[in-house]
Amino acid sequence: MKIKTIDWCNNKIKLIDQTKLPAKLEYIQIKDLTSLWQAIKSMKVRGAPALGAAAALGVYLGVRDSKAKSFVGFLKELDRVSRYLGSSRPTARNLFWGLERMCNVALKNKNKPVSVIKNMILKEAKRIIEEDRSSCRKIGQFGAKLIKKNDKILTICNAGALATIDYGTALGVIYRAKQQKKNIKVFSCETRPMLQGARLTTWELKKHNVDVTLICDNMAATLMAKGEIDKIIAGADRIAANGDTANKVGTYNLAVLAKFHKIPFYIAAPLSTFDFKIKSGKNIPIEQRPAEEVKSLFFKKPIAGMNIKVFNPAFDVTPNNLISAIITDRGIIKKPYNKNIKRIAK
Ligand code: MRU
């Protein structure tokens, strides 16, 4: 694809500053841990798989200058770096999966010199980048089998190239279907309050010549009632062992509407988004974000008084019974999710 969201270049993290889109495609270089933490928190880099790669590269940034001579000393620093990065955003499983992978590399090689372990950590982070590129393409390949010619597909937030390394999960399915000349049309929910659908999804779909129409979030039901939506595909931030799925707030609304209108509702995500230790969606930590995102960030004048209370969860949980199938890099998972998720994860 034409876009590479995050990469390791000249001893720095190079990433697209997504807060500048769609006005400007700007790459920034990150060479220290605090700047990376801030980039994650402020959503310069976002989307679960991209956060996994960012966290992994961030671990290397955080430990590369370590003066530790012994493994025990190095592990302490690694743990501190990992906890710090983990405190940036709590919901995306991939972020923690990335951190855990880096720590496991260190632990498995504890008998090697610290300098060697540092290099192995960087290698593993680069491996995560390559793996994401291929797993998104697999998701695209599996998911495109569900797409018929002339389908009209609704999506929310941005689960595309900008949320991964360069292809996407939900949008990966769309890119593959387009490549297969299925003549699909996409509707993108604007995705209040951070507008990832409006700012990012329409931008990247347009860039890849996909027919896309922007809607306000509260227009989805109208489209469905008119018979204008054949399928809904969303990404995921964390999927529990029973298939309950946390994704951008508003995803659950769409799943409820889909059930009422008898429209298939799909989740697309790599295995790295599954949290096998969490039995159900009730245990998924949901990030709360600042009130200014709702009241003022994208408006010339605040749309509500300074003293108005705001509820701003960044994600919601769609219960597994509303999900028609989960498209993964290992294949398509259908109900019963408890059993079939376990089987595919082996
Ligand atoms: O708050 P964001 O923009 O990081 O939320 C992103 C989403 O909800 C995506 O749908 C999800 O991470 C999947 S990305 C392939």
Return the ligand 1 atom nearest residue 157 CA. Answer: 10
Q: Across the chain, what does the average pLDDT equal?
A: 98
- Give the Å distance between the CA of 308 and the centre of ligand 1: 27
Weakly modelled stretches of the chain, pLDDT under 70? 1
Cβ neighbours of residue 100 closer than 8 Å, sequence gap 6 or more: none
Per the rule left: phi > 0, alpha: psi between -120 and 50, beta: everything else, 27 is: beta
- Give the Å distance between the CA of 344 and the centre of ligand 1: 23
Cβ–ligand 1 distance for 166 under 6 Å, the answer: no
Q: Ligand 1: which residue has its CA nearest to atom 6?
A: 47
Q: Ligand 1: which residue has its CA nearest to atom 15?
A: 159
Cβ–ligand 1 distance for 236 under 6 Å, the answer: yes
Return the ligand 1 atom nearest residue 234 CA. Answer: 10
pLDDT at 298: 97
List residues bridging with 152 in a β-sheet: 185
* Cα distance between residue 124 and residue 129, in whole Å: 9
Give the neighbor-by-neighbor strand order of the sheet with 27-30.
Answer: 6-9, 12-16, 27-30
- Give the Å distance between the CA of 42 and the centre of ligand 1: 14
Number of alpha helices (DSSP H) and beta strands (DSSP E) in the chain? 12, 14
Q: What is the 3-state secondary structure (H, E, C) of 280-317?
A: CHHHCCCCECCCHHHHCCCCCCCCCCCCCCCCCECEEE
- Give the Å distance between the CA of 207 and the centre of ligand 1: 20
CB 314 within 8 A of CB 289: yes
H helix or E strand, kind and range, residue 126: helix 114-144
Cβ–ligand 1 distance for 235 under 6 Å, the answer: yes
Cβ–ligand 1 distance for 195 under 6 Å, the answer: no
List residues bridging with 318 in a β-sheet: 245
Cβ–ligand 1 distance for 237 under 6 Å, the answer: yes
- Give the Å distance between the CA of 109 and the centre of ligand 1: 33
Return the ligand 1 atom nearest residue 156 CA. Answer: 10
Domains of the chain: 6-136 (1.20.120.420), 145-345 (3.40.50.10470)
Cβ–ligand 1 distance for 47 under 6 Å, the answer: yes
pLDDT at 85: 98
17 is catalytic: no
Check residue 341 and report its DSSP letter: H
Q: Which tokens belong to 246?
A: 């946390």
Q: Which of 132, 166, 217, 237 is catalytic?
A: 237
Q: What is the pLDDT of residues 228-263, one digit of tens each?
A: 999 999 999 999 999 999 999 999 999 999 999 999
**Whole-model pTM above 0.85?**
yes
pLDDT at 1: 66
pLDDT at 2: 74
DSSP output for 38-60: HHHHTTSS-SHHHHHHHHHHHHH
